[in-house]
Structure 1
């Protein structure tokens, strides 16, 4: 039962996840995450699915490199039965640019291309590279069986009319400036899982997926393939997010620079780390903060209303792009799965399309998966994502 296991690394900017998975049976044997990297309350948590045992280790200010080495030396190598059955190490990479368009075995050329794409994902790609370097160091026998799985790959089926910007074409042709999207691995899983739920072939599946977390995006998927997505060249475009502004008038940047004399570095920091929910509430980027205070705090009301207004505009537009029977609207991600008021405010705008939420189901489904629509209306599905499973499957498929 332990044949052909995948070790998966999902290294983020402030956290990382890891897992050992049998991608043929979808079974997880080990899973864990490291939270609050480089902070005093950083911690490593993992779960042994065979022994059904939870573990936690607090290590102050732990870095990506030290966290990965702790996992290798204190968790993986102490479970020799699993460790020796690992056949591939698969890494999530946020941005592959215009050269890395599908999952690939990692070599020096691939590493250099991931580095060059860091300009589009400066918080994420460098963290992914640490995962690659430490994996090769700790597991030299699999140095040629490390696989890169890209968030941007799933979005490569978008037509030019979706991914091109209204700027001089040579900027796309010479420098690859286009919409790349993000959360692609999550979307790939949702398509995989939703097709099973509806017992429908993936190439017949038409869904709108809202991946809502600290970073938030939405995608329109027709016949199992992406036709448009809200994030762009970088994960900054699109919906309102925890600390990111999402869509803005580009003249705001000129105004901040020319009239308020704010430096470009500070403008970048303002739009990516001080805006979104945090900017509107002036208190918190945590979505639970605004849901909890929605009926009594004016800034929480504004923040949630702006978020839902933008999300509903995208949903409405993406319904028209599918232009045929819609199988479902799917909510995933921490906010998508748990924010009941957000779902109600957003979906209430779509009764014209026979998309009607069941208030009782919506309220009772927090933290679980299932349907929240009224009977005989278009399905609204809450579905937790599993990026690690898709990464594991991509990895094992490449080394077959």
Structure 2
């Protein structure tokens, strides 16, 4: 690749298309990525576009009713906006040198970001049973990008699961008949790997230590949430499993439950397994407990004295504390930091306080005066001077991480 490049990052969901365009410079073998344009398209009968430029004179555009019914029309509009004289940064789409795609599931085969080929596409199709809600949309995003930009523009798949490929078998195997793993790939894969990896690197740099010498617990807390144990810079365990449903209580996902509950509900209520699956993924978590999946609304209710909102936040915090405790043991004898990131992790000091309370006996002490402020920089420390463990709030940037990996793969 040349020194000056335009890298487009795409995250295609079932009903959304998120995008971010970066200007990449590689002077003296030091990669710098400057965001130029970002936005999101909500696809469907009621479609909406939010598009904004970055830099010295940022601009924002919203199209409340764009009439975009599929990914092709959505990406076609995105390319037009990127080339718009007033709101874009490109003279033509031919300036896009590479595209990085977020792909949720890479199964066991893909342990690094990979150039997209026909063989890779076939492997993604084969992985659909492992991620039926995510991989089809990711595949469609790649196909549409190829159709609109042609084969001359290299594309790279960056997998959510890749970072967790370093987990040992003792962490990723379930207590199920072994042939289910061998024949069907039933195991823990983990997700949010791009975010966990990104914030771990930022924290290591902040602490002035080589990443390969750092042990971290990274808490990616958002509508989807997961926790990872990182030892010597590598993932050794994580809370999400075969699918993103396992682990923490999330916005609409239940997280860990007794495996017998679906069978119990099927027998006692007559719910079908498809209905139970939908409930666990879309109607549980914060939404199921409180009627609201938005943590901001729950915090407003908590401040107003709503005891049920307080209970919901306590359930969320309890599950996070439970995983932190488990990973403390796995990372013995040294923990170099606990990292909070994601929409909730970065912005909810109320939940950080609940998660970090009464942990003095394991050397973890939060400074509430430092913690109870908004994140105004890429990283801030919130531990007390009495704490033996750094407590960091780190702003994640999954799109930037995808752009970095795309650059490295295409450059070869």
Map of 1:384 onto structure 2: 395
**Are residues 1:371 and 2:377 paired?**
no
Map of 1:107 onto structure 2: 117
State how far apart, in whole Å, the 2-side matches of 1:268 and 1:200 are.
Answer: 43
State how far apart, in whole Å, the 1-side matches of 2:17 and 2:391 are.
Answer: 30
Map of 1:271 onto structure 2: 280
State how far apart, in whole Å, the 2-side matches of 1:58 and 1:90 are.
Answer: 27
**Are residues 1:131 and 2:141 paired?**
yes
Give the TM-score, by structure 1 length: 0.94
Q: Please list the CA deviations of residues 281-311 of structure 1 after superposition, one character each: whole Å capped at 9, or x if unmatched.
A: 1x21111122111252232122111111111
Query: Contact 1:19–1:28 at 8 Å: present in 2 too?
Result: no
State how far apart, in whole Å, the 2-side matches of 1:355 and 1:82 are.
Answer: 53
Q: How does 1:155-194 map to 2 (within 5 A)?
A: 155-194=164-203
Query: Contact 2:83–2:91 at 8 Å: present in 1 too?
Result: no
Q: Please list the CA deviations of residues 212-258 of structure 1 after superposition, one character each: whole Å capped at 9, or x if unmatched.
A: 11101000101000010000000000000011000000111110112
**Are residues 1:294 and 2:302 paired?**
yes
Map of 2:329 onto structure 1: 320
Cα separation, partners in 2 of 1:274 and 1:118, compared to 1, 3 Å: same
Name which of 102, 116, 120 aligns with 1:92: 102
Cα separation, partners in 2 of 1:399 and 1:36, compared to 1, 3 Å: closer
Larger CA deviation: 13-22 vs 92-101: 13-22
Contiguous gaps of at least 5 residues in structure 2: none
State how far apart, in whole Å, the 2-side matches of 1:178 and 1:200 are.
Answer: 33
Q: How does 1:1-400 map to 2 (within 5 A)?
A: 3-21=4-22, 22=24, 24=26, 25-34=31-40, 36-38=42-44, 40=46, 42-49=48-55, 51-60=57-66, 62=68, 63-76=70-83, 79-81=89-91, 83-143=93-153, 145-281=154-290, 283-295=291-303, 296-366=305-375, 368=377, 369-377=379-387, 378-400=389-411
**How many residues were matched structurally?**
398
User: What is the CA distance between 1:39 and its match in structure 2?
Assistant: 5.9
Contiguous gaps of at least 5 residues in structure 1: none
Secondary structure of 2:75's match?
helix
Larger CA deviation: 315-324 vs 67-76: 67-76
Secondary structure of 2:44's match?
coil
User: What is the CA distance between 1:85 and its match in structure 2?
Assistant: 4.2
State how far apart, in whole Å, the 2-side matches of 1:162 and 1:303 are.
Answer: 29
Secondary structure of 1:26's match?
strand
State how far apart, in whole Å, the 2-side matches of 1:375 and 1:82 are.
Answer: 54
Query: Contact 2:93–2:149 at 8 Å: present in 1 too?
Result: no
Secondary structure of 2:243's match?
coil
User: What is the CA distance between 1:96 and its match in structure 2?
Assistant: 1.0
Q: Please list the CA deviations of residues 88-138 of structure 1 after superposition, one character each: whole Å capped at 9, or x if unmatched.
A: 211110111122332111112211221222222223212212221121122
Query: Contact 2:41–2:74 at 8 Å: present in 1 too?
Result: no
State how far apart, in whole Å, the 2-side matches of 1:321 and 1:284 are.
Answer: 34
State how far apart, in whole Å, the 1-side matches of 2:25 and 2:273 are.
Answer: 45
Q: Please list the CA deviations of residues 153-192 of structure 1 after superposition, one character each: whole Å capped at 9, or x if unmatched.
A: 0000000010000000111011111000000011111122
State how far apart, in whole Å, the 1-side matches of 2:311 and 2:136 are.
Answer: 35
